[in-house]
Structure 1
Amino acid sequence: MRLLKIVPDHTNIDFVSLRGWAFGLTLLLSILAVGLTGVKGLNFGVDFAGGLMIEEKFPTPPDQDKVRTVVDNLGVGDAALQQFGDPRTLVIRLPVQDGADEGATNAVVKKVETALGQGFPGATFSRYSTVSSKVSGELIRNGVLAVVLAVLGIGLFAIVRFEWQFGVSTIVAIVHDLLMTVGFFALSQFEFDLNIVAAVLTIIGYSINDKIVIDDRIRENMRRYRKMEMREIVNLSVNETLPRTVMTSVTILLALVAMLALGGHVLRGFTAAMILGIVVGTYSSIYVSSSLLITLGLRAEPDTTERPDRRSMDNAERVAPRER
């Protein structure tokens, strides 16, 4: 039986020739992501914003103004409403004072549940969660610290494992992936909570795995073809690892699409972040990180004492000729 091949054998795509467009697109998307985050902000969940979150499901799409009026009349604080998942489900956010015990929180939840049940017959309570302002501040600090340390640690590893150009290109690509994810959440206003931080760290792990494989092949080919132009080495290395990159991305996306379709609204934000991260991470590995090595001045050291064998020359013929 013939094996399925998404990428044909002896693929010879000149990725480096598109690096100018790739760098421009990367810069544009990064600026847009930062702008969206600054203008619209993130829809922080209770984990980061603090307070009480109550999820209520109604038999038909409710009038949000009426729901807000019912809740505000209870004297439990100003309510913020957001549609969650389908139009019949609302998330109600209420402020919670620091030090409020579980009994007081349960009383507020019961009060809201009873009032909504009377005002909207058939409405059902789904779940609630609460976080104090002190804890939410600690969660924000720890989440940002975890992401920053992960990026710096990965860059340091790439510098020690390869050369400084590899570390810089890896950090640039990962920061691009993170900005795209944050910009997506600013645009979509999906809830940004600890689950999304976990998704971001997972995206970083996938991105570095893909980039290290390509970087390792580039370094191998730099030793093998010491007289070859760096442009041709990068093209050859990316083409050689392309089948693995595409197959890995496709298989992961199949699982994520199934989670997005069947996992329900609780996993929707996490899954959407993962899908975007896989697509953007694959793009940055192929078009940004690898080509950036040339811009940073990475060169294969010439060696006149060694001559490539027949197999090396055959492989070298697969590289697209350098543009003149």
Structure 2
Amino acid sequence: MNTRHFTALLVFLLLALFGLQGCGEDEPVVYVDMTKRQEVRVPEALPAITYAYLPQYSHTVSYRRHNPLIEYIAAETGLSLRQVFPDTFEEHRRMVERGDIDISFSNPFTYVSIAKTGARAFARIVEPSGSTNFRGQIIARTDNLLIQNLQDCRGKRWIAVDPLSAGGYLFALGHFLDHGIHPEDFAEIAFAPGPGGKQEKAVLAVYAGKYDIASIREGTLDVVKDKIDPERLRIVATTRDYPGWVYAARKGLPQEVVKAIADALFKLSMQKPEHAAILAGAGMSRIIPATDRDYEPIRELVAKTRFNEAAYDGRQDNAEGAQ
């Protein structure tokens, strides 16, 4: 037997000896009565108003932009609020319909969809520029010399944010139609894959050269500027403006709750440093009252682009069933 084997055997025998000493005959025996049991209940989450930001960006960005705002509303109203994170635009829409989202912050296209389920607008934002409206943009790589203007987009590969995205799809589609360019004129129309972060994904897909053009909401390039070299992308076209992002309350949410939240939002002012940080972080300069009538231009755009919501729902259901 060599030295290494002898040493291993010696260690084993010593451990066994100590183990036997720990199991002596005078060691007390603990009796466990298995007939006496006590159920341990997992504490249920306290009731809270659920708040969701349509997932145009990643969940991390959504949290960072809106958590200070949620904390402000809670402190101002005494209500308990909890931010929830739908993975897709469609999931957001369906959660509002089911009552799983109480307060929805969404683009106007998603709003006119959830309004069909009884949700109602009560506030809208003023953009950092001071406008109550916003626009979409069509971008391409700077070094793509084949795309110099909107007409050059014919026959190219287009990636949009989501079929339910306003600035990231519907505004651009309406803009193309106004200039005589139809969906069948593109080599491909694709939508950013996966949950959340779809605005970034559309930008990065063009940046990497996978697609020729992308449609995004105005302001997205500023949000992703830490991930790209802005000089390598350029804006090919900008759409007309439409009513801005909107706060809506789900059907059945008590009116006193809606009023308390609305009053808190309307108090926010860029003139107060603590409020300015909250507003700027969320990409807003002010929050003002809104009504459902403010979004008639979106309904007109839906009619013009002939967006078939029922057909879209069917595609979504088929995709979910295949997963």
Q: Do the two structures share a fold, i.e. TM-score over 0.5? A: no
TM-score, structure 1 length as denominator? 0.18
Kindly indicate which of the two structures has a greater share of residues assigned to strand: 2
TM-score, structure 2 length as denominator? 0.18
